[in-house]
A and B are shown apart, each in its own frame.
Chain A
Amino acid sequence: AQSVTQLDSQVPVFEEAPVELRCNYSSSVSVYLFWYVQYPNQGLQLLLKYLSGSTLVKGINGFEAEFNKSQTSFHLRKPSVHISDTAEYFCAVSDPNAGGTSYGKLTFGQGTILTVHP
């Protein structure tokens, strides 16, 4: 079974500072990896995804993430954050080869609340 661990439940940073949100996954098979952002009382918006190819993935709003297979990690980074980046961020995985009732299923981490202070 897959599992996702987001190592930090809350990350406070100052505006214009760099940030890294950590995500580790456990899976014995290949995975698809995703980062989603959730603003208060809203659904989730896809930031970026890794399916295959280059391990450095660029997403929307200046975010990027690096897939590290040996460390089973997919950390999210942004070199300079804005107040508007304050939100909760979720890392998720899916199994490319899943079938049956697991087809397309996402497993989410616990979420990291990013708070950007002025």
Chain B
Amino acid sequence: GAVVSQHPSWVICKSGTSVKIECRSLDFQATTMFWYRQFPKQSLMLMATSNEGSKATYEQGVEKDKFLINHASLTLSTLTVTSAHPEDSSFYICSAPLPGTSGRAGQYFGPGTRLTVT
């Protein structure tokens, strides 16, 4: 079945640096992808909706300049955490809707990327 991959699976960076996380849809095209953030023992919080060929749509309270999203192609979306700080340490998960459904019938989730900022 359809699969979504993320790279890297785990990254450690120093405070003040930027980190890029890739989300790829394998074997299907995704005009929309979703980025979530999950703190330990908490639920997923939607950060933004990535739209191929246009600007991302950010949820209220998410800093657009800090979390840069680029949907470069129909199979790739990237999330760049700029000037990372320890409070940005979290588990970041992307997802893509089931083909032909635009997300209304569920989503395929990537395996997640654990970011640790020291």
| A→B interface (CB under 8 Å) | 32, 34, 36, 41-46, 49, 51, 90, 94, 96, 101, 103-106, 108-111
Contact = CB atoms under 8 A, between A and B. Distances in A.
Contacts of A46: 106-108
A25 to B, nearest CB: 14
B76 interface: no
Contact of A43 (B46, B106, B111): B111
Q: Give the bracket for the number of chain B residues in contact with chain A.
A: 20 to 34
A109 to B, nearest CB: 6
Contacts of B43: 90, 108-111
A30 to B, nearest CB: 11
Question: Which secondary structure dominates chain B's binding surface?
Answer: strand
Contacts of A36: 109
Nearest to A106: B107
B44 A108 contact: yes
Interface string B90-103: 01010101000111
A94 B93 contact: no
Contacts of B44: 44, 90, 108
Nearest to B93: A43
Interface of B: 4, 6, 32, 34, 41-44, 46, 49, 57, 91, 93, 95, 97, 101-112, 114
A104 B114 contact: no
Contacts of A104: 32, 34, 49, 97, 101-104, 107
A117 B38 CA distance: 26
Which 8 residue pairs are nearest across A and B when measured between Cβ atoms? A104-B103, A43-B109, A44-B109, A101-B57, A43-B111, A108-B43, A110-B43, A43-B112
A106 B41 CA distance: 19
A88 to B, nearest CB: 9
B21 to A, nearest CB: 13
Contacts of A108: 43-44
A27 B41 CA distance: 25
